[in-house]
Amino acid sequence: MSRGDLGRKSVSLLASTWVAGLVNLAATVLVARILGPGAVGALAFSLGLSGLALAALLPGFTQAHMKRVAEGVDVGLCITTFGAIKLALYVALAVLLIAARPWRAALFDVPALETVFLLLLVGRLASSFSEVFTLALLAREYAVEQGTVVLVSRGFRFLATVGVLAWAPDVRGVAAAHALEGLTEVTLACWLAVRRLHPRLQLPTRASLLGYWRYARPLLVNVPLGLVQDSLDRVVVKQWVGLEAAGIYHVARGLWETLASVSAYPTMMLFTRMSRLFAARSAAAVAEAQSLFYSGVEKLLFVTVPMGLGLWFFAEPLITLLFGPGFARAALATRIFVVAAVAANTFNPYTQVLYALEAHGRLVPVVLLRFVVYLAALVVLVPGATAVGFHGLALGERGAAVARLLLLVFPAWMYVRWTRELAGIGYYRHAGAYLGGFIVGVALFEIVVRSPLAAGPTGVGTLVGATVGFAAYAVTVRALNPVALATAAYCVHLLSPGRFLLFLRGEIDKSPRS
């Protein structure tokens, strides 16, 4: 399979993710405009709390599922094995939720908030179960099918949200639309998996369950803690600062997640391809994996860093235009998240090498230490006076964004050291060109918008600053990265409408692979 083939699959997934992200953003804008920051805060808090609940599902098994399917294990056996594991974990989660009922008054100020949480949890559970099928499709590189699941389910949620806001505006109805999205996702994913993969379903075997367990065991610490980290900030901002601040933070995080989604599926595709190459255990396969990794990081940074710059430059007018003046203060947190996204796209691909090599056990002590550092950062940065007498820096949503940046940077250098030791994959030498260009572009933009130009007509200083910033970035990258022009040519070739339509037609018409 050609590398260009992998590139177009990544682009098709990226396109579907971005369209889905724009639909999600449009829904958030409508909720913010019609129901206000309090409703957005209720959704953000409930999303965070449901994410904490989902951490109990020990989703390290998802990575095991992708790897086993990618390596060629019988797909029907993989689906039933992962499905059985998911159902067992759902039973455990139900027991935990029942046991936690006495504490609900401390979390839910009003009954409506509890209803929102339960509806969002239903949606996220259904979406989580759909991974049994979507990850099998993705591991066999059925990119168009995966993108279809994302787009259709998100479209159903958007239409349901519009209907609720038009006829019976209520945050509980919006939460019900999230539940509908999850149910649509699991139904469509199951149908597409049966149609494309033709799995021969069979009862899980002891060997298949043990195979998943052996791979997932180190992740039983890493991934639940990762989910807690991913959701905890939403919860603590609401608990320590209030629903309005939670709504502001949700807007900033939503823009960051839209930017971060650019790297999600390309990184997954990189993981599945490297898993297949490392499983071959030959010198030629390892060399191909090294070349594939550096090529992937180059293209990821080439695409994502300019997008991050654009969000930095236009954060305030974009937020004000979409969500209204009441959300303008989300701009600073958004810019902090932009830095976090650039850092993540620089270092996170190295963790995929460790997963592909089944060396992810090394991450356990790092994840534990990082979690402690993250908790300490949230406590210091987010709240003002606390119930126990401690006074934080009272930075609110800005403090939570800084804590997220710290989480992504610390201690990323260890990932690079380990991949160098295990696979000969060291720090990508041209990454500094993109990071340097980003710093120069931001610095010149900030100088311009603080100059007398900013005193002119509204928006002129921002436009001039953005133009200068983008130009400085392009000059810096061109001067420091000799392969940047080749990468640009590759991207233009990859996005050729004619070739891309041929690729999509081939993906739709191709015969199923077992």
What are 215-242's pLDDT values in tens digits? 888 777 777 777 778 878 988 898 888 8
Question: How confident is the model at residue 140, as a pLDDT?
Answer: 84
Interior CA angle at 460 toward 456 and 465, to 5°?
Answer: 120
pLDDT tens track for 109-142: 677 888 888 899 999 899 989 999 999 998 887 8
Domain count, the chain: 1
Q: Identify the CA nearest to 79 among candidates 62, 101, 92.
A: 62
Question: How confident is the model at residue 497, as a pLDDT?
Answer: 66
| Res. 21: pLDDT tops 70 | yes
| Structural domain contains residue 447 | no
HEC-encoded secondary structure of 213-254: HHHHCCHHHHHHHHHHHHHHHHHHHHHHHCHHHHHHHHHHHH
Question: How many residues are present in the chain?
Answer: 514
Question: How confident is the model at residue 247, as a pLDDT?
Answer: 87
| Structural domain contains residue 124 | yes
| Structural domain contains residue 17 | yes
Confidence of residue 506 (pLDDT cuts 50, 70, 90): low
- Please say whether the beta carbons of 221 and 58 come within 8 A: no
Kindly tell me the sign of the dihedral angle through the C-alpha atoms of 456, 462, 465, 471: negative
Instruction: Give the tokens for residue 483.
Output: 């392969």
Determine the residue type at 192. Answer: L
End-to-end alpha-carbon separation of the chain, Å? 16
| Structural domain contains residue 476 | no
Query: H or E element: which one contains 79?
Result: helix 75-99
Instruction: Give the tokens for residue 418.
Output: 């380990």
- Please say whether the beta carbons of 479 and 447 come within 8 A: no
| Structural domain contains residue 75 | yes
Euclidean distance between CA atoms 500 and 493, whole angstroms: 9
Q: Which residues contact 397 (CB under 8 A, 6 or more apart)?
A: 237, 241, 245, 246, 248, 249, 252, 329, 330, 333
Euclidean distance between CA atoms 125 and 103, whole angstroms: 22
Kindly tell me the sign of the dihedral angle through the C-alpha atoms of 80, 82, 84, 87: negative
pLDDT tens track for 65-87: 888 888 888 999 999 999 999 99
Confidence of residue 501 (pLDDT cuts 50, 70, 90): low
Q: Identify the CA nearest to 144 among candidates 405, 421, 509.
A: 509
Other beta carbons within 10 Å of 321: 11
Question: How confident is the model at residue 2, as a pLDDT?
Answer: 40
Determine the residue type at 450. Answer: R
| Structural domain contains residue 457 | no
| Structural domain contains residue 229 | yes
Full domain range(s) for residue 380 = 3-430+482-509
Confidence of residue 58 (pLDDT cuts 50, 70, 90): low
| Structural domain contains residue 455 | no
Q: Identify the CA nearest to 479 among candidates 415, 434, 412, 413.
A: 434
Q: Identify the CA nearest to 504 among candidates 147, 154, 135.
A: 147
Q: Residue 385 pairs with which residues in a beta bridge?
A: 391
